[in-house]
Amino acid sequence: MRKLPVSCFIISKNEADRIARTIRSVRSWVDEVVVVDSESTDDTVAVALEEGCRVITQPWLGFGGQKRFAEEACRNDWLFNIDADEVVTDDLQREISAVFAAGDPEFVAYGMPLQMVYPGSAQPRPWPRDHWYIRLYNRRFVRFRHSNVHDSVVTDGYDVGKFNSPMHHFSMRSFADMKRKLDERTWLQVANARPSSVGVLSVRLVSEYPMNFFKYYVIRRHFTGGVKGFRYAAIQARFRFLKVYRIWRLSIQDMKVPRAPSHAV
């Protein structure tokens, strides 16, 4: 298979049990695979090296910062970002290869759907509607946002191409693992949240759970996932509610802190 002038980069930490599958879905058709590891304590680095990757150890810089560091480590301008729990499907690989068939691609960035795969399942549920992300792009024009919380590519008004074929996202080792990850991400979001009024947060406390359950179960079609789909939607809604509750509680505490008296001059 002809390799594309593309560097694939992966950020990782303690992904030894699943990163090989991710690497194998890209290594035969990209020019290089770069793994930026944030001090794993398992065999992630050894597995990545065995799979033929170039591995760089970099202490955690935040989601956006880590990916921007990885961008700089690549030797090609065309970059493909994939997380250590994602797998490129054959159909997506063919679509990506097609845009390079005539030379430089038409667009400076391309997005694609990511389809969730439940724990214990090999394929996404029927008719999934999960996320859509930009993952293939030319770093001379667009880059990842420098953010502690968000890791999205900023397109700055450039037109973006779209692939129809998905990546598969094996984000959860189990539902317990899902809860742990959401709890960590929720506290990170709380720490980086912008100030909001207690009144607004109080209203959201009432609406946050039902609104998000409807969003995941109906709009994102997890109702097609049976019992696992119901459980997934319920857990997502719970942690969306917990984020608002935790911000609300901190806001109440801030209101109770006495202010130092002002002195007239």
Which domains are seen in the chain, by residue range? 4-169 (3.90.550.10), 175-256 (no CATH)
Q: Is 114 helix (H, G, I), strand (E, B) or coil?
A: strand
CA distances from 158 to 108, 153, 168, 183 (A): 7, 11, 26, 35
Chain CA centroid to CA 234, Å: 20
Backbone angles phi, psi at 223, to 5 degrees: -65, -20
CA distance 236 to 230: 10
List, for residues 208-260, the tens digit of each pLDDT value.
999 999 999 999 999 999 999 999 999 999 999 999 999 998 888 766 655 55
pLDDT at 188: 85
Candidates 10, 20, 24; CA nearest to 58 is 10
List, for residues 16-42, the tens digit of each pLDDT value.
999 999 999 999 999 999 999 999 999
> What pTM was estimated for this model as a whole?
0.87
189, two tokens: 């979001």
Candidates 223, 216, 227, 236; CA nearest to 127 is 223
List, for residues 68-121, the tens digit of each pLDDT value.
999 999 999 999 999 999 999 999 999 999 999 988 999 999 999 999 999 999
pLDDT at 199: 86
